[in-house]
Structure 1
Amino acid sequence: MPIDLYYMPLSPPCRSVLLTAKAVGVDLNLKLLDLMTKEQMKPDFVAINPQHSVPTMVDGDLKLWESRAICTYLASKYAKDDSLYPSDPKTRALVDRLLYFDMGTLYQRYGEYAYPVMFFGQEKVDPTKLEKLHEALGWLDGFLAGHDWAVGNSVTVADFVLVASVSTFEVSGIDLSKHRNVTAWLARCKNGLRGYHEANTPGVNDIAKIAKKLVGK
């Protein structure tokens, strides 16, 4: 049976799932939901996911949301080996730490800075929120020191999750230049991740148009 993915390309969490699927070689049956017009509130979708959030995956009898859980599930079930989501407890813990870091700190701080202006009518950005985002990027810069990928020198699901966020920051006018490890890693992701431009770039380009609202704010 096909794996259904309810998604919206604008969403970095959705794009992290698309990147993971490319890496493991899984074809997804993509079902676009327009959150701007409240399609996620339709009864047939709420019946699948009562939290009415994207991404939402349906794989047989499994209905799963929360993007990072979907990424680790796809890597665990469909990857040819455990390199994307290592079975070694210590290495897996490092991957998990970065997934939680993205969810609770890095992407969270971007949303607090950018989304009030981009989507909710706030007139000006809060410069203190930008400072907090750069603080988180500084931590990421340190995490990336001394190796090519997020955890060591092999690609893991942490790279897919983090690059979906950081590439969004880049097109939102966030100056990444002071975070040299981040910019070098981002370049590696763009050039080295399987299916990067197909899975991530269209959504990044879409959000870049909306992110113009941040300029001069």
Structure 2
Amino acid sequence: MGITLYHFPPSAPSRCALLVCKALGLDVDVQIVDLFAKEQLKPDFVQINPQHCVPTLTDGDCTIWESRAIASYLVNVYGKDDSLYPKDPKQRAIVDQRLHFDCGTLYPRIRAICFPVLFLGEVEIDEDKKASLEEAIGFLDIFLEGNNFMAGTNLTIADISIAASLSSIIAVGWDISAYSNVAAWFAKCSLEIPGYVEANQTGADQFGKAVKSKLAPGQI
């Protein structure tokens, strides 16, 4: 049995999982689960993942969801080396910290802005939510001070995860130019992450278009 990725292109975490597959050169069967159409609630998918979220990955008898868990699993099992997820405990701890920052801080602050627009009928963005996201991007700028990538000199799954998250809000129209380290890093990621345009930018653009279509003018 091969690897199957249950995927929704507008979802940043889902795009992270697909980008890691691309970075590792894996042959993956991608099955689209349309969250906008609530396909994640279909009984056959709920049987695979009772939490009914994407991305979900099946690899033989192993089923995993949560994009950062999927990313680390794929590198641990299929990576030709440990460059994307270092085995050195100190280096890995930094990668893990950045992944946890994305999962616990950056992406939730992006979601707090976009989810109510997409699904709850809100057309304006609360100023506190804007400030909260700006704070998170500011932290990224500090992480990158003196570093080429989020966890040091090399591209890792932390960069892939954070780039997928950040690309979503940039596609909505968020301006990151005030954060010079982040802007330079993001431009570098778009060129150096394998399959970036196909596996990430197209879906980010779909997400951005969906959010912008529901926002009142001048919100971003």
Contact 1:171–1:211 (Cα < 8 Å) also in 2: no
Name the amino acid aligned to 2:206: D
Letter of the structure 2 residue corresponding to residue 61 of structure 1 = D
Alpha-carbon contact 2:4-2:59 (below 8 Å) kept = yes
Match of 1:216 in 2: 218
1:97 maps onto 2:97 in alignment: yes
- Give the gaps of 5 or more residues in structure 1: none
Q: Decide whether the 8 Å contact of 2:169 with 2:208 is kept in 1.
A: no
Q: Is 1:54 equivalent to 2:26 in the alignment?
A: no
Q: What are the equivalent positions in structure 2 for 1:94-173 lying under 5 Å apart?
A: 94-173=94-173
- Say what the alpha-carbon RMSD is for the aligned residues: 1.0
The secondary structure found in structure 2 opposite 1:128 is helix
SS in 2 for 1:121: coil
1-structure distance, mates of 2:186, 2:211: 19
Deviation of the 1:58 alpha carbon = 0.4
Runs ≥4 in structure 1, deviation > 4 angstroms? none
1:71 maps to 2:77: no
Say whether residues 1:42 and 2:42 are aligned partners: yes
Q: How many residues align?
A: 217
- Please, what TM-score do these two structures have when normalized by structure 2? 0.96
Q: What pairs up with 1:15-30 in 2 under 5 angstroms? A: 15-30=15-30
Paired AA for residue 152 in structure 1? G
Alpha-carbon distance between aligned partners in 2 of 1:134 and 1:186, rounded to the nearest angstrom: 16
Q: CA deviation at 1:140?
A: 0.6
CA distance in 1, matches of 2:31, 2:173: 30
TM-score, normalised to structure 1, is 0.97
Q: Does 1:184 align with 2:180?
A: no
- 3-state SS of paired residue (1:152): coil
Q: Find the aligned partners of 2:168 and 2:37 in 1 and give their Cα distance.
A: 22
What SS does the corresponding residue of 2:48 show, helix, strand or coil? coil
CA distance in 1, matches of 2:208, 2:53: 22
**Which segments of 5 or more consecutive residues in structure 2 lack a partner in the other structure?**
none
Query: Counterparts of 1:117 and 1:39 in 2: how far apart (Å)?
Result: 20
